[in-house]
Structure 1
Amino acid sequence: MCGRYTLLADELEILEEFNIEQPIDSYHPSYNIAPGQNVLAIIHDGKEKRAGYLRWGLVPSWAKDEKIGYKMINARSETAHEKPSFKRLMSQKRCLIVADSFYEWKKTEEGKQPKRIQLKDRKLFAFAGLWDKWVQENNTLFTCTILTKEANPFMQDIHHRMPIILPKDKESEWIAPTKIHPEEASAFLRSVDMEDLTAYNVTSHVNAAKNNDETCIQPIA
């Protein structure tokens, strides 16, 4: 799964990396991004790519209660094209969720050890995501979820699931504004090769979502 991550780059780095022309409204970096928070995402509106904030935790358009979002921070890519919550979104509401590392907790004899995981050969990257718009009375929410897959050999030692990090040359294809069959989107995700990762241990300071400072990423032996 993916339950916490970081985005520490400055706004200009992000705009250049993802070829975004318009500035990001109210951008702020974070050492400890958690479910329920607003997260930086990129969509294509049919004319251009746009970066803005979505709330992490998908609330489907048909949901009666927005609290369902806390149960839908991740979507299994293997079955998303079949599930009512995700099928339509796989077809036409795909997004990039911008990050530069993510956290995972490895089970050990002493307890769960948090680790910070990064790409070995590049700093900024994007998770494959889905988004939706939910409207009820006077309340409108734009929310998202991160797609996950079975862990690759590197991650298997840490956790059995992992987020899908899109290769640089696949990002624009994922958010292309064309409507596709959900199975086609699923096949696309299955074809994605994962880049090499690196990881190091961090302290339990990161366990609390309220903690959002440099201590979260400081390495320990």
Structure 2
Amino acid sequence: MCGRYAVSQSADDLADEFGVDRVDVRERLQPDWNIAPSKQVYAVLTRGRKDESEAPPERRLRTLKWGLVPSWAKDASIGNKLVNARVETAAEKPAFRRAFAARRCLLPADGFYEWRGEKKGQKQPFFIHPKDGSLAMAGLYEIWRDKSRPEDDPDAFLWSVVILTTDATDDVGQIHDRMPMLVEPDKWEQWLDPGRTKPAELGGLLTPAVPGILDAYPVSTEVNRVANNGPQLVEPVKL
């Protein structure tokens, strides 16, 4: 699974790296080395252009809440449970299948954390990251209408996201048996294309990891507490 990750880049830096046409955020996020479910996160997605109906969609950088709330949900609390989605079944599950077909996104990250160990309180956190540059995790997003608010209320529509996961490769499997699905740069445009809807074709755009690209090292248990933050969380420690 993926329960924590880090993003230290600014919105402008991410916009440049991911070829974004428009930074569409209400509030710019601060660097965060301990991103946990329910937090706002940066996501890259495509949306149609309002002024030119026949123009290609824009690639946008938005903030979404981590924890997917399907459009049919009665309330937003379901998002607390929908943090990760198994890529093997996401195209079929009621909570994810509409988003898998039409609302896909990229979640930029410096890297993510996993814990190794059997007993609670004794697990060792590891930071898993590319040896060069950042990575793009595959995500699905939804837009949920809060009917308790008027339509012109900025908070009437909740944008939320879930991270797709799969069986871990040998690079990560010795630490945890699941890991985020990644989208390599040459597949970004195809993954974000709302015109692609076939599950088999979409699944072929994703990769769990390229052997030798991801690196993992132990970090301080300080990351276990969500309130802790700062670049020291990704510093390697000796076991």
Is 1:115 equivalent to 2:145 in the alignment?
A: no
Aligned match of 1:198 in 215, 224, 228?
215
8 Å contact from structure 1 (residues 41, 54) kept in 2: yes
The equivalences for 1:52-63 within 5 A come to 52-63=62-73
SS state at 1:78 partner? coil
Query: How far off its partner does 1:184 sit?
Result: 3.3
Query: What is the Cα-based RMSD across aligned positions, in Å?
Result: 1.8
Query: How far off its partner does 1:179 sit?
Result: 4.4
Which whole-Å CA distance do the structure 1 matches of 2:205 and 2:33 have between them? 31
Letter in 1 for 2:116: K
Is 1:219 equivalent to 2:221 in the alignment?
A: no
Letter in 2 for 1:111: Q
Which whole-Å CA distance do the structure 1 matches of 2:173 and 2:184 have between them? 20
2:3 — aligned with what? Answer: 3
- The change in CA–CA distance for 1:193 and 1:209 in structure 2 (over 3 A counts) is closer
Letter in 2 for 1:170: K
8 Å contact from structure 1 (residues 166, 194) kept in 2: no
Query: How far off its partner does 1:187 sit?
Result: 4.1
What are the ranges of 5 or more consecutive residues in structure 1 without an aligned counterpart? none
Which whole-Å CA distance do the structure 1 matches of 2:24 and 2:141 have between them? 18
- The change in CA–CA distance for 1:108 and 1:2 in structure 2 (over 3 A counts) is same
What are the ranges of 5 or more consecutive residues in structure 2 without an aligned counterpart? 49-56, 150-155
Is 1:104 equivalent to 2:104 in the alignment?
A: no
- The change in CA–CA distance for 1:167 and 1:187 in structure 2 (over 3 A counts) is closer
The equivalences for 1:170-181 within 5 A come to 170-181=187-198
Which whole-Å CA distance do the structure 2 matches of 1:90 and 1:124 have between them? 24
1:128 — aligned with what? Answer: 138
Aligned match of 1:49 in 59, 63, 78?
59
2:175 — aligned with what? Answer: 158
How many equivalent residue pairs? Answer: 218
Query: How far off its partner does 1:56 sit?
Result: 0.1
2:20 — aligned with what? Answer: 20
State the TM-score, normalizing by the size of structure 2.
0.85
1:86 — aligned with what? Answer: 96
8 Å contact from structure 1 (residues 17, 124) kept in 2: no
Q: Over alpha carbons, which structure has the higher Rg? A: 2
Which whole-Å CA distance do the structure 2 matches of 1:54 and 1:12 have between them? 17
Which whole-Å CA distance do the structure 2 matches of 1:166 and 1:19 have between them? 15
Range that drifts further, 58-67 or 108-117: 108-117
2:52 — aligned with what? Answer: none
- The change in CA–CA distance for 1:193 and 1:117 in structure 2 (over 3 A counts) is closer
- The change in CA–CA distance for 1:76 and 1:131 in structure 2 (over 3 A counts) is same
- The percent identity for this pair of structures is 40
8 Å contact from structure 2 (residues 179, 208) kept in 1: no
SS state at 2:37 partner? coil
